[in-house]
Amino acid sequence: MKYGLFLFWAILAITAGTVLFHTSDAVQKTQEEIERLESEIAEERESIRVLKAEWAYLNQPERLEKLAREYLPNLSPASGTQLTEIGRLPEKEPQVAKQEPAPTTIPATPAKKIPADFTVKTPKPAVKAPPAPAPAPKAQIIPSKNAEPTRDFGDLLKNLGGSP
């Protein structure tokens, strides 16, 4: 009976020690994972801060005005005669894509001799593909007869009611 009780407490102590070891190991691994994630979060925050600074630089009004003058020299504000309602626009007819039949024979080449009766069988498509969407109509800027074209971004803002 003495040995049985001693054996019970010994097994209980070994089991408790094993559970304690596994628990402390799991806690340590979890803490390392938390530290790694916090480090990644700090790096992402720094990256976001740098991207915000770059965005602020790229959106400076002076820089955008310079680029607009350089790349959009003929840009002028829209006049009232250039605007219309969507219902007054003409409807565009849908375009049907022309499909050419696939060749069923392969012409003979001098490099390889292919029998004259050799044909390639093309499998029939199981499902017809829908026709390609029609391209969007290109926007046209119609110059106003009364308005003078402006080339300065500041003048454009003044004409639109803003301040440069």
What's the pLDDT tens digit per position in 54-77? 999 999 999 998 998 888 888 877
Q: Which residues pair with 105 in a beta bridge?
A: 119
Q: Would you say residue 44 lies in a domain? A: yes
For the full predicted model, state whether its pTM sits above 0.75.
Answer: no
Within a domain: 144:
no
Cα torsion angle, 147, 149, 154, 155, sign: negative
With contact defined as beta carbons under 8 Å apart, do 151 and 75 qualify?
A: yes
Residue 67 domain flag = yes
Provide the sign of the torsion angle of the four alpha carbons 120, 123, 124, 130, taken in this order: negative
Tell me the pLDDT band of 134, cut-offs 50, 70 and 90: low
| 53 domain-assigned | yes
Say if 156 falls within a structural domain.
yes
Q: Which domain holds residue 69?
A: 37-77+150-164
With respect to residue 15, please indicate whether it lies within any of the assigned structural domains.
no
pLDDT reported for residue 81: 79
Cβ proximity of 160 and 85 under 8 Å:
no
Count of domains observed in the chain: 1
